[in-house]
Chains A and B, each alone.
Chain A
Amino acid sequence: MTRRWGRALLPLILLAAASCVTPGGEPGALTDIAPGERPTLESDEAGLWMEVDRIENNLKTSGHIVRDPELNAYVRDIVCRLTTDYCEDLRIYIVQVPHFNAAMYPSGMMQVWTGLLLRAENEAQLAYVLGHEIGHYLRRHSIQQWRGVRGIADALVFVQIVAAAAGQGYLGYVAQLAALGSIFAFSREQEREADQIGFELMARAGYDAGEAGRIWEALIEEREAADDPERFIFFSTHPSSEERMETLDRLAGEYSGQAGLTKTNQDAFIDATRAFRTAWLRDEVRKRDHGGFQVVLDNLIEAGEGVGALHFFQGEMHRLRGDDGDESEAVAAYRRALEAGGAPAETHRSLGLLMWKAGELGEAGRAFEDYLAAAPEAEDRAMIDSYLRQIEGDQR
């Protein structure tokens, strides 16, 4: 973790740094943060917390916050089962950003991006990511990093500037974390430590530790397929993915022998996220990172939940990319979506648009009629009716 999470950690780092640092920023032995602990007002850590609080206050009113009470309660419940003693200290915000990321700030603010919720296959995978982030919080890694930064005053100004990025849409959040990560990236040792804690928390809650490596593998695969891997946010500040994989494999081996660690809670996870998946998939296709999105779709299709909708989005990806062969791939994907069932009514419309452009007027007309039959209250009914009139005229 930590690549992406690392950016989020920046502020965390700042806060954390301030928390165990003596007034004036002198280094001192860092202890784990205690439940309910807040930095003393005269400490430099308090200043850092204040800046992070500003980020949090901006976030609270953001249009990108997912406010659904059931989904928020579900994620919060996982966090609290992982770390009961710190449950009251952690404030969780689900942010609608189509990138894999979770971010723990030193003040106890945790961001969980919807790109993570879309990519996780089950609750155990999500719990690993959350547990890792909690590990950074408990060990005050952010503060350690903060204390290692040359010129804390300058860095604090930097954080203040970066905080303003949150007001610029979800790309602002991405830029914010990337910028913070550029000076507050965790060390490999801290990553290993957070992984160790994450695994301990997972095991204590009874989760299957082997799931940690699986989500990591999928992420590496997505990065390799991404149209612009250099801009893959999660890895931008934490490049040691192979080493990380080795750590996860080793930890999984250590914990796999323990009895009772088999929980994935896949059904509960799917039930909690099902209602949001179409919106999150739409966010992903809008990014136009077609290569990376293909990997995400392949993994989700393999997992087997909501396959009809997934094939529809695969068709959308091909339709929007528009390279050689994409048109026929899109048509095939739409047909698979309709055969699988559960595809949105828009599948018919997208199929109709492609058929129309290909000059297959009969098939286009039938697809548009199917769309209106499946969605009689469609917002674009008047336009689709006009398409049908044009097709009818062209057929004469």
Chain B
Amino acid sequence: MKPALLVFLLLLAACARYSLVPPGSHEIDDAYTVQTSIAWSETSAGSAELWTVDGPSLEAVRFFAALEDGDALFEFHGRDNYPRFEGRMTASEVMEFVVDSLALAGAANMAATDLRPMKFGTLEGFRFELTFLDADGLEYDGLAAGAVADERLNLILYTGTRAYYFPKYKSQVERLIASVRM
């Protein structure tokens, strides 16, 4: 596969240290827990905890926990202006925040679809789907689920290549999301 995807993915892949996430229950930054039935490799990616099996440019689950006013989804080195979370965001605005962040990180032809209410643990949350191209024109799919509570954002973002990798782990990610406990 061609190198590429998003800048942050490349940087992360290049220098990140990984540790094993065995099957079982895992706490995400004291904000929520998830259950996994398979093993993942884990690293940190900016403000996110990133899990992957085959490599973050192929598929990656990013867990964001308790983002606050002014926090960004990714690191935009050298830029002063980039999308920032605000505690009063609605689900529509969180989707915009995610889409704009991905676009600024390098995704092309971003499209978000099917924004809908969905429980995130015990919280009233949301869910939406994503499609985009990377800088090499490779097609990606994604999904995001989360909730804003007490002006803090908890979010799970899954992205992967439309061919093979996104569908390969999608059901595992669905189970992760369904397993969220606050």
Minimal beta-carbon separation of B2 from chain A (angstroms):
7
B31-39, B133-141, B146-154: which lies at the interface: B133-141
The reply to whether B82 and A61 contact each other, CB–CB distance below 8 Å, is no
CA–CA, A169 and B7, complex, Å: 7
Residues of B within 8 A of A62 (CB): 108, 135-137
The reply to whether B137 and A61 contact each other, CB–CB distance below 8 Å, is yes
Cβ 8 A contact of B117, one of A168, A172, A286, A386 = A386
Residues of A within 8 A of B12 (CB): none
Q: Which residue of A lies closest to B116 (CB)?
A: A382
A219 in contact (CB, < 8 A): no
CA–CA, A185 and B81, complex, Å: 26
B175 in contact (CB, < 8 A): no
CA–CA, A289 and B100, complex, Å: 13
Cβ 8 A contact of B133, one of A63, A349, A383 = A63
CA–CA, A228 and B78, complex, Å: 11
Residues of A within 8 A of B81 (CB): 227-228, 287-290
A124 in contact (CB, < 8 A): no
Q: Given that A62-B135, A63-B134 are known contacts, is A170 also in contact with B90, CB under 8 Å in the complex?
A: no
A64 in contact (CB, < 8 A): yes
Which residues of A, 351-377, contact B by the 8 Å Cβ criterion? Answer: 353, 356-357
Residues of B within 8 A of A58 (CB): 136
| Interface residues on chain A, number (Cβ under 8 Å) | 36
B4 in contact (CB, < 8 A): yes
Residues of B within 8 A of A353 (CB): 90, 92-93
B143 in contact (CB, < 8 A): no
Which residues of A, 51-66, contact B by the 8 Å Cβ criterion? Answer: 58, 61-65
Cβ 8 A contact of A379, one of B115, B117, B137 = B115
Minimal beta-carbon separation of B1 from chain A (angstroms):
11
B91 in contact (CB, < 8 A): yes
Instruction: Specify the main secondary structure of chain A where it touches its partner.
Output: helix
Residues of A within 8 A of B112 (CB): 379
Q: Given that A169-B106, A169-B107 are known contacts, is A61 also in contact with B92, CB under 8 Å in the complex?
A: no
B113 in contact (CB, < 8 A): yes
Identify which of A58, A64, A168, A290 gathers the most chain B CB atoms within 10 Å of its CB. A168
B126 in contact (CB, < 8 A): yes
B24 in contact (CB, < 8 A): no
The reply to whether A171 and B108 contact each other, CB–CB distance below 8 Å, is no
CA–CA, A58 and B136, complex, Å: 7
- B72-106 interface bits toward A, Cβ cutoff 8 Å, 1 = contact, 0 = none: 00000001111100101011110100001001111
B10 in contact (CB, < 8 A): yes
Residues of B within 8 A of A387 (CB): 90
Residues of B within 8 A of A89 (CB): none
Residues of A within 8 A of B7 (CB): 168-169, 171-172
The reply to whether A169 and B91 contact each other, CB–CB distance below 8 Å, is no
The reply to whether B114 and A63 contact each other, CB–CB distance below 8 Å, is no
B144 in contact (CB, < 8 A): no
Residues of A within 8 A of B103 (CB): 283, 286
The reply to whether B106 and A172 contact each other, CB–CB distance below 8 Å, is yes
CA–CA, A51 and B105, complex, Å: 26
A96 in contact (CB, < 8 A): yes
- B28-57 interface bits toward A, Cβ cutoff 8 Å, 1 = contact, 0 = none: 000000000000000000000000000000
Q: Which residue of A lies closest to B6 (CB)?
A: A169
Q: Which residue of A lies closest to B99 (CB)?
A: A286
Which residues of B, 103-135, contact A by the 8 Å Cβ criterion? Answer: 103-109, 112-117, 126, 128, 132-135
Which residues of A, 33-67, contact B by the 8 Å Cβ criterion? Answer: 58, 61-65
Q: Given that A63-B108, A170-B106, A172-B106 are known contacts, is A383 also in contact with B135, CB under 8 Å in the complex?
A: no
- A88-113 interface bits toward B, Cβ cutoff 8 Å, 1 = contact, 0 = none: 00000000100000000000000000
- A241-282 interface bits toward B, Cβ cutoff 8 Å, 1 = contact, 0 = none: 000000000000000000000000000000000000000000
CA–CA, A63 and B136, complex, Å: 6
CA–CA, A16 and B114, complex, Å: 50
Residues of A within 8 A of B80 (CB): 227-228, 231
Q: Which residue of A lies closest to B95 (CB)?
A: A380
Cβ 8 A contact of A380, one of B10, B79, B108, B115 = B115
A304 in contact (CB, < 8 A): no
Closest 6 CB pairs of A and B: A169-B106, A63-B133, A63-B108, A380-B115, A288-B81, A382-B116
For the complex with contacts A168-B6, A379-B113, 15 further pairs of A-B residues with Cβ separation under 8 Å are A58-B136, A63-B108, A63-B109, A63-B132, A167-B136, A169-B106, A170-B106, A231-B79, A283-B103, A286-B103, A353-B93, A357-B88, A383-B91, A383-B115, A383-B116
Q: Which residues does B use to contact A, with CB under 8 Å?
A: 2-4, 6-7, 10, 79-83, 86, 88, 90-93, 95, 100, 103-109, 112-117, 126, 128, 132-138
List 19 A-B pairs, Cβ < 8 Å: A61-B2, A62-B108, A63-B107, A63-B133, A64-B135, A167-B2, A167-B10, A168-B6, A168-B7, A169-B105, A169-B108, A170-B106, A170-B108, A172-B135, A283-B103, A290-B81, A379-B114, A380-B128, A383-B116
